[in-house]
Structure formats: structure tokens, C-alpha cells
Amino acid sequence: MSRIFITGSTQGIGAECARQLLELGHEVVLHARNPARAEAAHGEHPGALAVVTGDLASIDQTEALASAANEYGPYDVVIHNAGVGGGAAERSETGDGLERIFHINVVAPYVLTALMPVAPRMIYLTSGLEADGAWTPEDLQWTQRPWNGMQAYSDSKLHDSMLAFELAARKSESIVTVVDPGWIETQLGGPDAWDPVELGAETQVWLATSDDAIATTSGQYVKRREVLEPNPLVTDADARGELFAALERITGIALP
């Protein structure tokens, strides 16, 4: 039995991932954005060990979330599932003055990773759209380019893949994997998506629990239990280092 923390686990892929892991007999700590969602999650997953709250659009709340989650650790697995989609017609900022998609999808998992002990397995969700992501270190916040919501999302998923691969290089004590769940019929994926939520969660559950060679090898991009080639920028160590330096500057938090 493993103890597993899942961000963004009150709905969609995260909730389904929690359901499958609980059915397998694991101890699961859920994450909700606010108390109302936490209460609903308690009702949906009564077997969960705990539900911790925190809005990932706030660095202060993300720091508090890390502290709250750590009270139930140490974890065998941390699944960084939370995220927001693209397509926003206009650029918007969080209360911290950061572009919203970049903040929630990239800054938040970085902060949690920096403030939580390294788990033996760490899983980060990306998207197949990371293949279309661009590396623009001079404009991570989209203050210089004309706004494009889908490109901002693709960029953020590229950054997530870069984040995971850099952690795999730095944290040899952990198995770090980045997962493309597919186009899943959830609130984020939309009604036109062709894969059910059960399939979207299956690979993360497998990576969290399996002793298969793929599941126990760090620094891989996985979809449907198969290793795929990520965007070439993901294997660019210099670019990954630039991203980490930028995240440290933005947050004031260094990765231990």
C-alpha cells in the first residue's frame, strides 16, 4: 500500500485517478481549490485519508498547501495533475500578477515540488499539445507577444515536460515521469474529446503502482503505458536550466 498525494483531485482526471487508487487499497490525500470543493470531495471519496485545500493561482496559498499536504506525508507518490486549459480569448493575470495559465500550470507545480520532500515517484501531467509549445524565455508571461490562448496552453504543457525532465536529471532518488493522458472528456477537455475519463487516469495509476520497467524508469514521456518522444526542447538541458532559473526568480523559491 502506498500513500499518494494528487493535486486537482476533486473532478475530472484527478478525481478518477483517486477513485482507482482508493479501489486498489492505497492511501490517498486529495487536493481541492476551496473548502466547498473539499467538502464535496469528502462525500465523493469517503475513503480518502484527507483533503487539503489551496488555490494554485496564489503563491501564498500554494505554499500553505504544501505545508498542509506535508502533514500527511511522507508520500510514496505525488501526482501533479491540476491545471487549466487554453482558449481564453484574453490574457488574464492572477492576484500575484502572473499570467494565469503559466501560473497554475507551471509555477504551482514548481512551488509544490520545491516545498515538499522528494517522493520516490513523481508524476507530472502534460498534453500532446506540448509538441506545439514554443520556448520563449524572454516572454514567459505573454506581455510582449499578441495573446494566443491555445499557444499559451501548449507552451505551459511544454514547460511541464521540461520541469519533469529537469527534475529527473537533478533528483536521482526519485522516478520522475511526465504523462500525456490523451484528449479526455472532462471539463478541461470538453465534450468533443474522444477518450473517457477512466482511460485518462489509467496510465497515472499504473505509473504510481507498477513495478514494470517503464514505470520504474525516470525521465520518460509516457502515454498509454508507452514511451514517446517529447518536444525536442524537453531534452535541451540549457533550456530546462533557464526555465528553473526563471521560476526561482518569479517565486523567490529555490529548488533544494
User: Amino acid identity, residue 70?
Assistant: N
Grid coordinates of 29:
490525500
- Catalytically active residues, by annotation: 153, 157
CA 193 to chain centre: 20
The CA-CA-CA angle for residues 119, 177, 99, to 5°, reads: 90
Q: pTM score, two decimals?
A: 0.95
Specify the pLDDT at position 192.
Answer: 58
What residues does each domain of the chain span?
3-251
Nearest to residue 148, comparing CAs of 190, 83, 93, 91?
Answer: 91
For 73, the grid coordinates are 506525508
What is the structure's pLDDT at 183?
A: 63
pLDDT averaged per 10 residues, the chain (length 256): 97 95 98 95 94 99 99 99 93 98 99 99 96 97 97 98 99 98 62 70 96 98 96 98 98 96
From CA 256, how far away is CA 249, in angstroms rounded?
Answer: 14
Question: Would you state the pLDDT for residue 163?
Answer: 99
CATH for the stretch 3-251: 3.40.50.720
pLDDT at site 78: 99
Q: Do the beta carbons of residue 205 and residue 17 sit within 8 Å?
A: yes
85, 105 contact by CB (below 8 A): no
Beta partners for 226? 223
The pLDDT of residue 187 is 57
